[in-house]
């Protein structure tokens, strides 16, 4: 008789998704654990958020999302206490359509000029987009003609940029660097930055916590392929105090 592999379910947001997709086959091959993967936004409203999915009966063993979004799940009582582990950090970056001129965004004044000249800016409606909307743009004294559009996911904001619905996209670098049809401009100026820590945690009602924990341990390990994928996504490892369960 052939043993049926153990199965776990993951819901992941966009920030760590490229790294996850790159290394998941190795984890499944080594561990003989089958992983089913769903997706959702770290924050925001509506059915595409991880929070909404868990609240409405979608089952998962592991969630991977921004630390800001995870805190809300903790407040909801949906996370197994002490299981959260930081995996990688991602700074905010800007991108333009492939072939478009790349504006200077090296300081606040240059970034403001780039936003005004773009006219139409798109961001994901999750943690990073809320930060751009609520913290960055109000302090730039932008003219009313500048339009900011929030799309549900980073992939959707990249698609809007690609299709001409915007002339500048802002989001975690890890959600922009590998998207086809767009080109990375660079990181936002330091004092406008939001560096997110994408974090894994066990859902409190998982029936297979030890099996699910093996995936988190792998994603926070020093596996060579994993570290290279993190580097290629423009991400870094979080400080040690953020990597451990909190």
Q: What is the pLDDT of residues 163-195, one digit of tens each?
A: 999 999 999 999 999 999 999 999 999 999 999
The model's pTM is 0.92
Domain match, 115 and 174 both: yes
Domain match, 65 and 100 both: no
Domain match, 106 and 149 both: yes
State the residue for tokens 């993951």.
10
The pLDDT of residue 227 is above 60? yes
Burial class (CB in 10 A: 0-12, 13-18, 19+), 31: middle
Give the tens place of pLDDT for each residue, 92-150: 999 999 999 999 999 999 999 999 999 999 999 999 999 999 999 999 999 999 999 99
Q: Can you list the alpha helix ranges (DSSP code H) found in 12-94? A: 17-31, 50-55, 67-75
Sheet of strand 120-124: strand arrangement: 147-151, 120-124, 168-172, 92-97, 182-187
Domain match, 156 and 74 both: no
Domain match, 230 and 154 both: no
Domain match, 72 and 120 both: no
CA distance 185 to 12: 26
Domain match, 12 and 31 both: yes
Domain match, 161 and 39 both: no
Please check whether residue 19 lies inside any domain of the structure: yes
CB 12 within 8 A of CB 64: yes
Domain of 171 in residue numbering reads as 92-192
State the residue for tokens 């913290």.
135
* Percent of the chain's residues with pLDDT above 70: 96
Domain match, 186 and 233 both: no
């Amino acid at each position: 008789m052939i043993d049926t592999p153990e199965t776990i379910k993951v819901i992941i947001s966009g920030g760590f998704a490229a790294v996850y997709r790159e290394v998941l086959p190795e984890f499944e091959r080594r561990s003989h654990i089958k992983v089913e993967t769903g997706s959702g936004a770290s924050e925001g409203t509506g059915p595409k958020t991880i929070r909404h999915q868990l609240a409405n009966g979608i089952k998962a063993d592991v969630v991977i999302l921004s630390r800001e979004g995870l805190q809300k799940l903790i407040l909801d009582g949906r996370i197994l206490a002490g299981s959260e582990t930081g995996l990688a950090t991602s700074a905010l970056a800007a991108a333009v359509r492939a072939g478009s001129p790349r504006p200077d965004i090296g300081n606040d004044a240059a970034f403001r000029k780039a936003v005004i000249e773009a006219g139409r800016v798109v961001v994901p409606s999750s943690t990073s987009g809320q930060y751009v909307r609520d913290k960055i743009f109000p302090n730039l004294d932008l003219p009313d003609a500048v339009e900011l559009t929030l799309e549900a996911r980073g992939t959707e904001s990249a698609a809007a940029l690609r299709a001409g619905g915007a002339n500048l996209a802002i989001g975690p670098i890890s959600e922009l660097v590998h998207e086809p049809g767009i080109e990375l401009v660079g990181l936002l100026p330091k004092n406008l930055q939001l560096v997110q820590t994408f974090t894994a945690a066990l859902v409190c009602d998982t029936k297979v916590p030890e099996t699910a924990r093996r995936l988190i341990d792998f994603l926070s390990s020093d596996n060579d392929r994993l570290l290279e994928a993190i580097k290629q996504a423009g991400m870094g490892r979080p400080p040690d105090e953020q990597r451990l369960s909190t």
